[in-house]
Chains A and B, each alone.
Chain A
Amino acid sequence: MRIGALVLKRKSWEPLAFASPSLALIAIVIVFPLAYSFWLSFRNFDLAVGPDSEFVGGANYVEALVRDSRFLNSIWNTAIIIGPSLVLELLLGLGLALLLTRIGRGRPIITALLAIPAMVSPVMAAMTWRMMFGVKYGAINNLGRQLGVIDVYFDWFSNPFISIVAIVMVEVWHNTAFMTLVLLAGLQSIPTELYDAGKADGADGWRSFWYITLPLLKFTMVVGLMIRLIDLTKLFGLIFVLTYGGPGGATETVAFSTYLAGFNDFRMSYAAALSYVIVGGVLVLTLGFMWIQRYREMRAA
């Protein structure tokens, strides 16, 4: 990048000036509120009770981690949604990416078509599937009855386990396209000479996949998984529309139960504390993920 001449010619205030609008906005709309929220989390501001609040130290955090079984339960729920979703998105995404490499003509169109579910809002995806899961008139039950698989009405959302399954299914439907595209890009960046060389050595089909494709794809997969992992911790809109946390608290995620604490119970300070617990958790997860990767790389070296 030949910036030499330009660097010499710049006025010293220009870089900051150019960047200042966004810096100001970020400071006011992101940094300040987050600091305020952090401060709030050590008080007991409760809009239901009144506008005054007092300092309570870490009481909110203690309650969140020790006395709030509903929040702890939501952590568990989030985990059991994230796990299968990641695995399925990876496998399905890989399968689709491989499939797409086998298509010459029409690849751009088909790729774009398959990417559409990932471009719609999770709320729209959830509403679509909620109607399809409808007990009496939904597409799935109707199809099941037509094919003779289901007898009377089947309710997908009375059973906690099946509700989680439904959520994972909708989530995978919604976001597999992301992994597909990431992996497709990764596959396309593998030079074909490697495959030719492999074929000359007798490696073909499955073996070329296992020994050539996968290792080279590893980094892409890790990056994709990490991004998906971070996104999945924020799961909210999909839950709100598909199950609203039900049945009972079976599908409440951490973001959802924090929302309920803040906007159903008005416990703003407590909700702020919960949100920082989530932030802490995500930080730990991400760092842990990266550390494990580093460790495996070092061992492989």
Chain B
Amino acid sequence: MRKLSILAVVLAVGALAAWLGLPVNEVKAARPYEGTTIRAVVNAEYVKYSLSLVEQAVYDKLGIKIETEVIPLDPYVAKTLLEFNSGKSPWDLIMFGPSFMPDYGRHLEPLEPWIQKLKLDFVMDDIPDVYKKLMLRHEGKIVSMPYDGDVHIMFWNKVAFERPDNKKKFKAKYGYELAPPQTWKQWDDQAEFFHGWGWDGTDRKLFGAGASYKGNNYSYYWWRPRFFSYGGQYFDAQMKPLINGPAGLRALEEMVKTIQYYPPGVMLFESEEPKTMLIKGEVPFLFSWTSTGKRVGNPNESVIVGKAGFGIVPGAEIDGKIVYRPDLTPGRSMAVSKYSQKKEATMKVLELISDPEQSLKIVMDPKTIMDPWRVSHFKSEKFRKSFPGADEYLDAILKTFPHVVPDPILPGASEYMRKLSFEITEALAKRKSPQEALDSAAAEWDKITDRRGRDKQTALWGEKMSEMKQVGIEYHPDWAKKAK
């Protein structure tokens, strides 16, 4: 009898164990990389935060943990490339700006062999052409996936533009109707008009317009749309810089003349400060990254929810037509390092964070400042209804795509851009005249070209120049004078 009861107990325990063991095995099968940790490197706290939004999904589906290092923006390109150029990398998952693809590309692991091997699906046809062209390939091979689609659009505070009192005053002073600016001249007029008084009906002292003029990377993006809409181009066919020609000069002079209408601190503003001023109702309009839109619609911080307008960045009027040249800024892509010891796990993570569902989560959250980049993002009902005006906002981005101007995507891109931005800020700080500043920048550009190998650069530039020509962007020496 005792033997039987022991047997019964053993069987019962065994059955219980088996039953308990079953779900463990199931979970194990669903977490194929359990216990793996991969290391990611990003260039800002908010990017780290964005990864934290999906890390639960990454762990649940794959069992992988992500350890993220933040290197500040200013030394980011330098520090990461320094590691790669010496043949090593402490990171598996790399965030980088696709404009710097010529410098990063050879350190990244091509995706196609892995897509075949692991049957990955990156849903490539859900990516708009403009990003497909610029954010995926190096020397023909796909090496990265987009993560943040950076373009610039214009945002404005409807209150400023719709108050009858404002409209009357403006018409009286400038002779045309007050409306969100379509040209640079209108932008500058309105910055002057709105500066220094309470255009929202209060008696606060408000400011004329918003921008980011910090020297290391920002001021150049507020100069470029003017420069290109006045007919500018980076280099000519012989690699001579054209930035210090009439188009560049006019653009910079306008900026220097109007800086007095911008808030104090503008010289140190990076991306977020002007956005904060816009959503707190302190500046009437701003052109900046599309992530601004999410902050505009976030009732926790914005006072202009439902009162904001979205449109394309101003342009220049040439022969009766307005030429728009909005910025396509580096944005962010994610890639797998060629030197990683955990490529397979990292590829799976890359697939997951890029998939339509996870990436939508990332681009919808206002605190991540990551911008939509999948077609499905723009069509998503959830996104389009997430705040009043969200649909206008997404449509404005789509309208901007055909006109965007990319960075000079060459080896040394980061250096070209930094040196130019530095000189622009020197002019804005009134330490140099605009012509001196641009001439210095052109001289620096020549030095960079020589250091990187003039012939090689000229050949690569030739390709880029013809690509840009195909979408209608080319040098027009006469526009700077003609533009209205």
Contact = CB atoms under 8 A, between A and B. Distances in A.
B82 A266 contact: yes
A157 B267 contact: yes
B428 A248 contact: yes
A48 interface: yes
A136 B452 CA distance: 43
Contacts of A250: 429, 431
Contacts of B266: 155, 158
Contacts of B423: 248
B358 to A, nearest CB: 34
A32 interface: no
B85 interface: yes
Interface in A15-71: 46-49, 51, 69
Interface string B190-207: 000000000000000100
A115 to B, nearest CB: 32
A204 interface: no
Contacts of A6: none
A155 B265 contact: yes
A152 B265 contact: no
A144 interface: no
A152 B264 contact: yes
A155 B440 contact: no
Contacts of A263: 75, 78-79, 82
Contact of B429 (A69, A151, A158): A158
Given A49-B451, A246-B268, A266-B81, A152 B426 contact: no
A71 to B, nearest CB: 12
Nearest to A44: B451
B294 interface: no
A49 B415 CA distance: 12
Contacts, number: 90
A196 interface: no
A96 B415 CA distance: 48
B418 interface: yes
A264 interface: yes
Given A48-B85, A266-B81, A266-B82, A248 B263 contact: no
Interface size band for B: 35 or more
Nearest to A249: B426
B265 A135 contact: yes
A264 B78 contact: yes
Contacts of B170: none
B268 A158 contact: yes
B412 interface: yes
Interface in B46-86: 74-75, 78-79, 81-82, 85-86
A268 to B, nearest CB: 10
Contacts of A266: 78, 81-82, 85
A264 B415 CA distance: 8
Given A153-B264, A247-B429, A46 B422 contact: no
B338 interface: no
A276 interface: no
Contacts of A46: 451
B267 A48 contact: no
Interface in A211-253: 244-250
Contact of B425 (A151, A154, A246): A246
A160 interface: yes
Interface-centre pick from B216, B426, B453 (highest chain A CB count, 10 A): B426
Contacts of B415: 48, 265
B215 interface: yes
Nearest to A270: B451
A159 interface: yes
B452 A158 contact: no
A48 B422 contact: no
Nearest to B426: A248
A253 to B, nearest CB: 16
Contact of B422 (A152, A155, A248): A248
10 tightest CB-CB pairs across the interface, nearest first?
A248-B426, A155-B264, A158-B267, A135-B265, A247-B429, A155-B265, A248-B429, A248-B425, A247-B267, A264-B78
Interface of B: 74-75, 78-79, 81-82, 85-86, 103, 205, 214-216, 263-268, 412, 415, 418, 422-423, 425-432, 440, 451-453
23 contacts: A47-B82, A49-B451, A136-B265, A152-B264, A153-B263, A155-B265, A155-B267, A157-B268, A158-B266, A158-B429, A159-B429, A246-B215, A247-B267, A247-B268, A248-B422, A248-B427, A248-B428, A248-B432, A249-B431, A250-B429, A263-B75, A263-B82, A266-B78
